[in-house]
Structure 1
């Protein structure tokens, strides 16, 4: 995929895995810090049902404070990996608005919001959960892999919707980047105001995915975006 103009001059066009049968559902999946949409597009292509289109956006390139200001693909700035540190609220909100725009674009192509699932890995999952809970229309599901709820102290007061949407959160129990405890804290918080939530841990998994997790993702997609 070449670079195309978008609402951010540094953001490449999303990587698209088209449906191979009649397109009736879409998954928008956001990669983690320093990555691109290509890796996740390849992995999702192997597990997706034929009627599902996958949209894997590429984050804009920006300086990241955590990495000494080095420019890399990032949905928002990360200052430190301390749970209590200041967060890039403006950047998180902007990234969530960009995801809302991608959802709206799929709706304009004829896919109803409740047939659109969002999700992401690590920082991408953080954007996805924030975006889903601040979006008024019902979504088809939410995937959070090795991730956390950003600006968690603002919830549930800022929620606009999707408290009944199915959420699947997955986390490796020896993650050295986004600690497993962050995942547990996120789950504890979410369970106070969402209705349909599942948390699954993977023994020995670090900050990555594994075949078992991808199989669980496949089952979640098939359950909540079934054929029509």
Structure 2
């Protein structure tokens, strides 16, 4: 098993569901921690796990060391991809999934989520699982190693639902790149929920509401509880 990354964990010790959420380039596991209360799921037996990516030099940023799931070598982010780094992060995420199995949570109750580079790893890893996950959530992301998808995707994960959301004016990961990923997945008969919001490379309030609804649906938690 690959070495487990350090993580921020939010939620009950005896959870029945888990969301593993990967941050974007240069951020860390705390980045999306403040979002958890807005989703209204923690006291509904959902554990959130936010791993920290390893610190490594990033070519696009002049070789500066920062938290990254893999190197970015070109402004055109799908050129000269860091295959080794992508696969190493896949192994780390799979180790996290196995850890949740050992804590009593089966794959169909695990959501793999991520923003930007983290969303790319979520897609890459989730589509290759022999035990299908409860869902894949990819925000402001794209599909890495797309030419390898047909050879490497696991037939069992064909049933995994996917939620993809993107900003209409994203200057970091172009909308066209995400649209292409969505098209590739739909052509391969995956069930993809696709949303575009009026924003750049960020998270939109309407997006948060849609994520919360989608997570409740995939984890079979029913409607959001009414306020007292």
Q: TM-score, normalised by structure 2?
A: 0.91
Distance (Å, rounded) in 2 between the aligned partners of 1:84 and 1:112? 33
Distance (Å, rounded) in 2 between the aligned partners of 1:196 and 1:48? 25
Distance (Å, rounded) in 2 between the aligned partners of 1:123 and 1:56? 14
Which residue, out of 1, 9, 14, partners 1:16?
9
Q: CA RMSD in A?
A: 1.6
Residue segments in structure 2 that go unaligned for 5+ positions in a row: 223-228
Q: Report the CA distance between 1:44 and its aligned residue.
A: 2.2
Do 1:33 and 1:75's aligned partners in 2 also have CA atoms closer than 8 Å? yes
Do 2:158 and 2:190's aligned partners in 1 also have CA atoms closer than 8 Å? yes
Residue segments in structure 1 that go unaligned for 5+ positions in a row: 1-5
Q: What is the 5 A alignment of 1:69-88?
A: 69-82=63-76, 84-88=78-82
Distance (Å, rounded) in 1 between the aligned partners of 2:188 and 2:170? 26
Poorly superposed stretches of 4+, deviation over 2 Å:
none
Counting matched residue pairs gives 218
Q: Report the CA distance between 1:197 and its aligned residue.
A: 1.0
Q: Tell me what 2:25 maps to.
A: 33
In terms of mean alpha carbon deviation, does 79-88 or 103-112 score higher? 79-88
Q: Report the CA distance between 1:138 and its aligned residue.
A: 1.1
Q: Tell me what 2:180 maps to.
A: 185
* 1:47 maps to 2:43: no
Which residue, out of 170, 173, 180, partners 1:175?
170
Q: Report the CA distance between 1:154 and its aligned residue.
A: 1.1
Q: What is the 5 A alignment of 1:86-125?
A: 86-125=80-119
Q: Report the CA distance between 1:139 and its aligned residue.
A: 0.5
